[in-house]
């Protein structure tokens, strides 16, 4: 029942002031937050490079390597890694985003040394065996098939592709099937050696551990890695607009994603953007959810939100509905956007949206895993720690005037619209508000 956000990106990351930051001579960044009241320790290694940093010839390699490091090291097989993690009762996982990759492990404090050693082993001494490459390609091809069966994911990728067609930020993280099949062991090693260097690594630890202990672990496991320069970032994406559609008559629902360029993750306007997105469709009391879903029953899922990256962003709206309701839903979405442009958000509604954001932020900081990841993301995006109180103050400072001004600025630009489903007969009229 909770609205689904259409796209992934940086949110309002905050980390408590108790987190400390250390930068080693080789460029490695260590973040430590001791939490003596917990029994768990969360350890994560974040890589400051994601799919947006791939060249045209490297599409999907960041995600491919995320899989491959778990297939074995010089001293551990994939099975041994799994057995050791299970024996600790730990949880190990990884993911690749457009701007970074993450590998993390959560265990009891009694297993912190062993867990850190495993994490360091897979990232410092991967084997990249040729047979493992062959097998994992098959696994990722199944992941492609899974995405193909998930139209809400597809429409998000279509939206990004249409908005940023000339930049890697608009590409799918998985890359392409053809590129995946063609990659050799040499291609993998070349990308790994270029990207997985200490200056690109953020080691974040939160939980029942002392700062002294964390420093010793980081020094022993990563401190001797040689310094190496990391490649620079791509140019800033340039936003486009228009309509992209995929006709799939077998789909029971039609999925749409429409939106405009929005503030980046580093833009101070992001706070207003998140409040605006929450008012429009970011909660179950939001305008879109109440007026399109609850009152009219035209959709099951509808939401809006701000997606931020380092140097760009988008404010987008997602909805899923039966094919005969597409045009009616788009008209209602247009009406709700026009409502934001024609009148200021009432103070009680504004406060409810801000309270929703603040509550979600604070609840997200309750576990060692979330605090570890929040600290790392802060480092990646802001190169500093940010206390929750600072973020809460910035949200509280947003006014109705701020929301109106930003709405007028954003929706003064042409919209981008992506749609997938049985589109026969659908007009897919794109509203204009300028």
Both tokens assigned to 319: 């909805």
Residues 6+ apart with CB under 8 A from 88: 107, 108, 111, 114, 115
Torsion of CA 22, 23, 29, 31, to 10 degrees: 0
How many CB atoms within 10 Å of residue 306?
32
**Active-site choice (33, 54, 58, 66):** 66
Q: Indicate if the alpha-carbon torsion angle 281, 284, 289, 291 is positive or negative.
A: negative
Residues 6+ apart with CB under 8 A from 179: 59, 60
Short-list 125, 126, 117, 127, CA closest to 43: 117
For strand 313-321 and strand 254-261, is the pairing parallel, antiparallel, or unpaired? antiparallel
Torsions phi, psi of 104, nearest 5? -145, 155
Helix (H, G, I), strand (E, B) or coil at 246: strand
Short-list 84, 152, 125, CA closest to 320: 152
404 is an active site residue: no
Q: What's the burial of 181, exposed, middle or buried (CB within 10 Å: 0-12/13-18/19+)? A: exposed
How many CB atoms within 10 Å of residue 126?
21
| Contact indicator for 230, 305 with CB cutoff of 8 Å | no
For the annotated catalytic residues, the residue numbers are: 66
């Amino acid at each position: 029942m909770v609205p689904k956000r259409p796209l992934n990106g940086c949110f309002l990351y905050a980390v408590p002031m108790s987190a400390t930051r250390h930068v080693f001579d080789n460029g490695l960044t260590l973040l430590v937050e001791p939490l003596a009241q917990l029994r768990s320790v969360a350890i994560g290694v974040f890589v400051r490079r994601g799919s947006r940093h791939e060249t045209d010839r490297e599409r999907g390699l960041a995600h491919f390597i995320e899989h491959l490091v778990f297939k074995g090291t010089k001293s551990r097989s994939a099975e041994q890694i799994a057995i050791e993690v299970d024996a600790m009762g730990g949880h190990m996982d990884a993911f690749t985003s457009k701007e970074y990759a993450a590998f993390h492990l959560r265990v009891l404090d009694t297993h912190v040394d062993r867990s850190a050693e495993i994490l360091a082993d897979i990232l410092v001494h991967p084997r990249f065996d040729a047979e493992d490459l062959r097998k994992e390609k098959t696994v990722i091809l199944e992941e492609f098939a899974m995405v193909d069966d998930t139209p809400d994911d597809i429409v998000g990728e279509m939206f990004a592709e249409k908005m940023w067609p000339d930049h890697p930020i608009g590409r799918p993280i998985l890359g392409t099937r053809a590129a995946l099949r063609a990659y050799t062991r040499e291609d993998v090693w070349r990308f790994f050696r270029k990207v997985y260097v200490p200056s690109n690594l953020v080691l974040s630890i939160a939980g029942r551990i002392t700062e002294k202990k964390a420093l010793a672990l980081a020094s022993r496991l990563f401190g001797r890695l040689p310094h190496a320069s990391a490649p620079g970032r791509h140019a800033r994406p340039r936003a486009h607009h228009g309509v992209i559609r995929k006709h799939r008559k077998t789909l029971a629902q039609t999925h749409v994603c429409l939106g405009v360029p929005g503030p980046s993750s580093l833009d101070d306007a992001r706070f207003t953007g998140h409040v605006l997105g929450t008012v429009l469709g970011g909660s179950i009391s939001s305008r879109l959810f109440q007026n399109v879903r609850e009152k009219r029953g035209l959709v099951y899922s509808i939401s809006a939100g701000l997606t931020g990256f380092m140097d760009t962003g988008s404010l987008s709206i997602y909805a899923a509905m039966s094919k005969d309701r597409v045009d009616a839903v788009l008209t209602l979405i247009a009406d709700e956007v026009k409502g934001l442009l024609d009148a200021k958000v009432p103070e009680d509604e504004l406060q409810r949206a801000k309270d929703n954001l603040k509550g979600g932020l604070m609840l997200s900081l309750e576990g060692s895993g979330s605090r570890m990841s929040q600290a790392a993301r802060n480092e990646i995006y802001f190169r500093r720690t940010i206390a929750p109180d600072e973020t809460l103050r910035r949200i509280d400072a947003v006014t109705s005037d701020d929301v109106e001004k930003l709405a007028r600025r954003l929706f003064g630009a042409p919209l981008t619209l992506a749609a997938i489903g049985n589109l026969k007969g659908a007009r897919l009229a794109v509203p204009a508000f300028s």
